[in-house]
Structure 1
Amino acid sequence: MKKYLLWAITWGLIGIVLLMPPAVVVVEALKNGLGPALETLKDPDGIAAIWLTLEVSLVSISVNTIFGVLAAWLLTKYRFPGRSALLVLVELPLSISPVVSGLVWLLLFGAQGWWGPSLEAAGIHIAFAVPGIMLATLFVTLPYVVRTLVPLMEQQGCDAEEAAMLAGANFWQILWHVTLPGARVALFSGILLTTARAMGEFGAVSVVSGHIPGLTETMPLHIESLYNGYQTVAAFTMATLLAAMAMSAVLLRSAPEWIARRRGAQA
């Protein structure tokens, strides 16, 4: 009896908190039909927001994948003073409000910031421009690859790497042929988490972007602009597209585990 009660409570909570919001978004997007909903996606500002979101996500994925692999290697293969502090700092973006991080970038690179006037005099624009959006997104997505790789690399130990080193392999050969093959599932998971977080980031980007339609509005910011402008069908259509993109990344994250279970069952 308790099992079924717990099952009902769990699925009830999932239905209300997780399934109902995206369902409502889709219903609102299609309330006038599929044609009008798709027509809203042809708006030039909407297309620019989609492309900017993909561009920022690609940069975040690339930088954080490289940084995450190297940082995880450092944290798991070596013991050094300050290692615990470095682990805490890597997780800092998870505990700080994204709005605060956006304000920090604005303080540093804004027109009245520490370095903003000097950079603008040199023709370099960070705040209220695409570079500022990328910096803000990089900050909030930094921990995901590192934190998915560290537990698995610690479990792997160092024996295989030491054996490869004795055999004459250099650092990159060891990393590519010894360490990463055993960590590819964790790496894939971290990359997909980074992707979903980068596409959906709002707080930090909102502060540092300036909300310039067609230039510095990512999909989340464009959705807010559409909704505040009472363009509800367009807002919910864009929200549906963004939710589909993020949910695809999350579903892909579980694909390797599902494939492994299938192979185990067949074996």
Structure 2
Amino acid sequence: MAETKEIRQHKSVVTYGLRFFVIAYLFVLVVWPLSEVVKRTFAPVEPDAAGGFGAFLERLQDPSVTYAFGLTVTCAFWAVLINTVFGVGISLLLVRYDFPGKRVLSVLVDLPMSVSPVVVGLALVLAYSTGSGWFGSALESVGIFVIGSTPGLIMATAFVSLPLVIREIIPVLEEIGTDAEMAASSLGANAWQSFRRITLPSIKWAVAYGVVLSLARSLGEFGAVKIVSPGAEFRGETATLLIQNRYGNYDESTAYAAAFVLVLAAVLALVVVTFIRRPEERS
């Protein structure tokens, strides 16, 4: 009995020790730096200057800031839409069908998670630039410009956020199996009816989860868009590029305000994900 009590005390010490180190690690790495961003967002620029929420809103009303966030939202919207449509299709292809090159496709899906976004941007430049790109000259001949324009930013954003929808849907498809779909098919339902009435309702929470994560990732993308965008004011400057440009040009108050908005968007995304999860996943 004494030995059991000693073991329990030892486990308790180890448990509390691990909790302390985890909390300390997260505080130093995440909470403290982000709290500094929040604090400086609402701090006055100069001792006699106004601070607070009013000054924060005033910085966001700058036309260049409005343009940057508008471009960011546009790129994120189209990137998420593209990834949702193709993500559902690729997920069904990987789970429901066997074909040559299936493993290669699965590896390619995960590639954006392992390749630096800067490399992604460089690859897009090499493929779609109007000077030496493989497809750039052909697209230019029909009036389509990719690099240095919104389509290039959307492609870069879609690339880096591609796996987030797919990797949420695949486990759910594997879990539900094909019994219900086969039963519907035997009763005369076509492929579209089976998908709309059986498959889609079964994966709707996984799709929603992936969409929210993809949106959060798209809003904060920097490396890939840095390469494919001119990055100038009113010319391809997204919110993340605005933060870099303003901070480098000693307009730190605007940089802090834009960074706070992106942090707030990420936190809201996590809150939404928590509430849209299925009840059994929350427990």
1:262 Cα shift? 11
- Equivalent residue number for residue 36 of structure 1: 55
Partner Cα separation in structure 2 for residue 218 and residue 140 of structure 1:
16
Pair 73,121 (structure 1): closer, same or farther in 2 beyond 3 Å: closer
Of 255, 258, 275, which residue of structure 2 is paired with 1:255?
275
Partner Cα separation in structure 2 for residue 185 and residue 117 of structure 1:
42
| AA partner of residue 15 (structure 2) | K
1:46 and 1:214 in contact (8 A); partners too: no
Aligned length: 263
- Equivalent residue number for residue 67 of structure 1: 86
- Equivalent residue number for residue 68 of structure 2: 49
Pick the structure with greater CA Rg.
2
Pair 152,263 (structure 1): closer, same or farther in 2 beyond 3 Å: closer
Q: What's the TM-score once normalised by structure 1's chain length? A: 0.93
Pair 8,36 (structure 1): closer, same or farther in 2 beyond 3 Å: same
- Equivalent residue number for residue 206 of structure 1: 226
Q: How much identity, in percent, do the aligned residues show?
A: 37
1:42 Cα shift? 1.1
1:53 and 1:219 in contact (8 A); partners too: yes
1:122 Cα shift? 3.7
RCO higher in structure (CA 8 A, sep ≥6)? 1
- Equivalent residue number for residue 36 of structure 2: 24
Of 87, 100, 112, which residue of structure 2 is paired with 1:93?
112
1:235 counterpart = 2:255: yes
1:263 Cα shift? 9.6
1:50 Cα shift? 0.7
- Equivalent residue number for residue 20 of structure 2: 8
| AA partner of residue 22 (structure 1) | L
| AA partner of residue 173 (structure 2) | M
1:179 counterpart = 2:183: no
Pair 79,5 (structure 1): closer, same or farther in 2 beyond 3 Å: same
After superposition, residues 120-199 of structure 1 pair within 5 angstroms as 120-199=140-219
Q: 1:208-255 CA deviation, whole Å, 9 max, x = no partner?
A: 011121131111011111101100111000100111112211221111
- SS of the residue aligned with 2:259? helix
1:125 Cα shift? 1.5
| AA partner of residue 149 (structure 1) | I
- Equivalent residue number for residue 101 of structure 2: 82
Gaps of 5+ in 1: none
Please tell me the root mean square deviation across aligned C-alpha atoms, in Å: 1.7
Q: What's the TM-score once normalised by structure 2's chain length? A: 0.88
Pair 237,183 (structure 1): closer, same or farther in 2 beyond 3 Å: same
Moved more, 116-125 or 174-183: 116-125
